[in-house]
Amino acid sequence: MQHTRNSEFDVHRIRLIALIALATLTGAAHAPLAAQVSQADSLVAMLAASTRSGVSRAELEASLVEIERILASGGYSGALKSIKRDEAVLIRHRLAEGDIRPGDVIRVAVASDAAVTNNYVVTPSMAIVVPSLGAISMRGLLRSEVEPHLQREIARFLRDPVVMADALIRVSVLGGVGRPGFYSVPAGQAISEVIMTVAGGLGGNADLEKSSVHRGDREIVSSDAFTTALRDGLTLDQLNMQAGDEIMVGVKKPGTLSRALAIVTGVGSLAYLLSQVF
């Protein structure tokens, strides 16, 4: 049952990302779709709270109220309402389940106690185990709630601790990159930055148009959605990536380097990209 709910959540999330990206296009090839989004829609389609990694619980709850207002109004297009229905599903999922998943890495720094400062892997029981403090539950937490939650929990054992914490996602980056391997990266980091900075940039054989993201034997971000994610600077969190997911950068055929560079010109300079490839 849990697997089914997560699969449905993945479908809604990827559909929302695709709808937001397509609804913002104004080129002639996409004019019919762009025309579906009226002036009354404004920028509300771009501000999907369900895809912001640092959003608070109060902001998500307020977003649900706003979505209900939009759906009940006759002043918004059908295209926007479709986006907002999907967003409502994702918001309710985040409020109920939180953002943290088993295998995520929680980076903790305590100014007054170096022994507690470390990276901790979230266990299958949704906790981190801190030496001398024991297990601390991470169940149901939004990413924005991780630091204040750990501040409260650690304060039960240490006097006036200064706690800094954030959640990392351990993913693999394989294929046409300079340093393929496993990396723990912030959920709010753009997938383009993971490729270009963390994984050593594009290899000489990279073909971004053949790139995708996999979870086990299932493709969760298609090559088309991957291209959109690069162009729009989408983060791992916005792509609903979880611990263990695999970013597979495609390998190009001869003569496709210029097309790969064209895909990412929206997230970095051409000179920088060339320096990463040659």
Q: Tell me: the pLDDT tens digits for 145-168? A: 999 999 999 999 999 999 999 999
Residue range 204-259, pLDDT digits in tens: 889 988 999 999 899 989 998 899 889 888 898 888 888 899 999 999 865 545 55
| Residue 261 in this model has a pLDDT that exceeds 90 | no
pLDDT bin (cut points 50, 70, 90) of residue 5 is: low
Span 182-199, average pLDDT: 93
Residue range 68-100, pLDDT digits in tens: 999 999 988 888 888 888 888 888 988 999 989
- Smallest CA-to-CA distance from 182 within 261, 246, 125 is with 246
| Residue 44 in this model has a pLDDT that exceeds 50 | no
Judging by beta carbons within 10 Å of its beta carbon (0-12, 13-18, 19+), is residue 78 exposed, middle or buried?
Answer: exposed
Rounded Cα gap, residues 7 and 182, in angstroms = 24
Span 93-116, average pLDDT: 92
% of the chain with per-residue pLDDT over 70: 72
pLDDT at res. 277: 46
pLDDT at res. 13: 54
pLDDT at res. 8: 55
pLDDT at res. 29: 36
Rounded Cα gap, residues 185 and 239, in angstroms = 14
* Block residue for tokens 């720094």: 109
pLDDT at res. 122: 95
pLDDT at res. 83: 84
Span 31-60, average pLDDT: 54
pLDDT at res. 187: 86
Residue 143 tokens read as 């990413």
**Termini Cα distance of the chain:** 48
Mean per-residue pLDDT over the chain, rounded: 79
- Smallest CA-to-CA distance from 53 within 187, 200, 223 is with 187
Rounded Cα gap, residues 180 and 199, in angstroms = 6
For 109, residues 6+ apart whose C-beta sits below 8 A from its C-beta are 117, 163, 164, 165
